[in-house]
Amino acid sequence: MKSGYSYVKETFEKHEKGFQTPHWQRGIAYRKGTSIQRIERPTKIHRARTLGYKAKQGYIIVRARIRKGGMHKVRPKRGRKPRAMGVKKYTTGKNLQWISEERVQRKFPNMQVLNSYKVYSDGRSWYYEVILVDPQHPVIKSDPKINWICESQHKKRVTRGLTSAGKRARGLNKKGWGSEKTRPSIGANKGRGK
């Protein structure tokens, strides 16, 4: 027996991406909106539910837009040493999904980021929907499945890389041989084993 959300996922992923489809119309609406915008309900209900979203008080969904690409800069016109050009090989050390979660956290400082997922992309931007939880809400405090987020050690968890996107950027999805220096963090292991 498949769940109802399995069928929702299938129908959502089968839609055409051609001219004047719902996917096409959604992209137009996203581009007209602001970079961080609260929305009424998740676009991908099956994905949001997988990541812990519930349609109850204390949960909100926010859509975040972030530009694509790396941090390459315009090459200087005048003389530089090649190492002082500052053009290539500059990275944030984070993935863009994590950065978008942090931006949403700054916009909603009383909420905690639970997780996020990709909803759309075009030639210029990525669009993510971020699930936020209010740790002060009585409904959240009384729910045994989510009230762990009310504890003090989970404050600003996204800025410490504790969401799924943050853990992926920190290399914590890899286990075993070759990942010895990723735990507890790369900074904590700096200089170890020389």
* 102-134 residue pLDDT tens: 999 999 999 999 999 999 999 999 999 999 999
pLDDT > 70 fraction of the chain, expressed in percent and rounded:
99
d(CA 25, CA 169) in angstroms, rounded, equals: 32
> Rounded to whole angstroms, how far apart are CA atoms 128 and 63?
6
CA 158 to chain centre: 9
The mean pLDDT value of the chain amounts to 92
> Which residues on neighbouring strands pair with residue 131, listed in sequence order?
61, 115
Could you tell me the mean pLDDT of each successive run of 10 residues in the chain, 194 residues long? 89 78 91 96 94 96 94 86 82 92 96 96 95 97 95 95 94 92 88 72
pLDDT of residue 128: 97
Q: Is the pTM of this model over 0.85?
A: yes
The span from the CA of 171 to the CA of 166, in Å, is: 9
H/E stretch holding 24 reads helix 22-32
Neighbours of 132 (CB within 10 A): 24
Task: Determine the Cα–Cα distance for residues 148 and 78; give it in Å rounded to an integer.
Answer: 56
Instruction: Using the structure block, give the residue that is written with the tokens 């997922």.
Output: 117
Give residue 86's pLDDT: 82
Domains and CATH numbers, the chain: 35-169 (3.40.1120.10)
Q: What pLDDT, on the 0 to 100 scale, is given for residue 37?
A: 96
Q: Tokens 């837009």, residue?
A: 65
Q: Would you say 98 and 166 are in contact if contact means Cβ atoms under 8 Å apart? A: yes
Q: Do the Cβ atoms of 126 and 183 come closer than 8 Å?
A: no
